[in-house]
Amino acid sequence: DKRANLFTEISGGTSTQLLQRDIKQAIDDPKVDSILLDIDSPGRAVDGTKELADFIVASRGQKPIIAFANGLMASAAYWIGSAADRVMANDTAIVGSIGVALTHYDRSEQDAKLGVKRTMIYAGKYKWIASDEKPLSEEGQEYLQGIVDEYYSIFVKAVADNRGADVEQVLEQMADGREFIGKQALKAGLVDDIAHFETALAMTREKGRFMN
């Protein structure tokens, strides 16, 4: 999540804002030789994801950055992880789920049962074309599909750029929404190595020493 800062304090999750801040601090800190992103996340939110991933890509070359799928690196979390210099995963990690989903809720029957009648007042043809007080129209579905398709194309292009692959390769092997386990992710090109966390940590330290 972009601003899940309270959630961080409660359960150890993190927001993209805090993660970007922490990565920048590590890059600027002369005592830090390299960075390991320990990722265990289903992803979810789009907002903030591209900004963080772009920041990681722009930081390449300053210090080694390795991403490790420690259980789950899916959807937006994979977008972020793919931005690292190298992506690693344990052999049971779930990686991928490259795709975009959007839900439309039709609350018209619920409103009818409750005796609620909503009158939508708006300006602009598409402002309420997919609102929840009525069933989704064909035109409304086409509009929402266009939004999903646009986000999907941005996501796929980013993964292709981050992984040094062609868009066609990403579409054929990685980006049909599937989740890949361990060596499946390696075969598909989503990760570079299958290893335990301790190995990923050791490699990160070694790369940092080698650069310095």
Q: What are the tens digits of pLDDT across the range 156-192?
A: 999 999 999 999 999 999 999 999 999 999 999 999 9
118-163 pLDDT per residue, tens? 998 999 999 999 999 999 999 999 999 999 999 999 999 999 999 9
Catalytic one of 15, 75, 82, 97? 75
- The answer to whether 117 is a known catalytic residue is no
Cβ contact 133:81 at 8 Å: no
Token pair 């069933």 in the structure block, residue? 135
Per DSSP, the residues of 58-111 read HHTTTS-EEEEEEEEEETHHHHHHTTSSEEEE-TT-EEE-----------HHHH
Among residues 24, 127, 157, 187, which one is catalytic?
127
Annotated catalytic, 127? yes
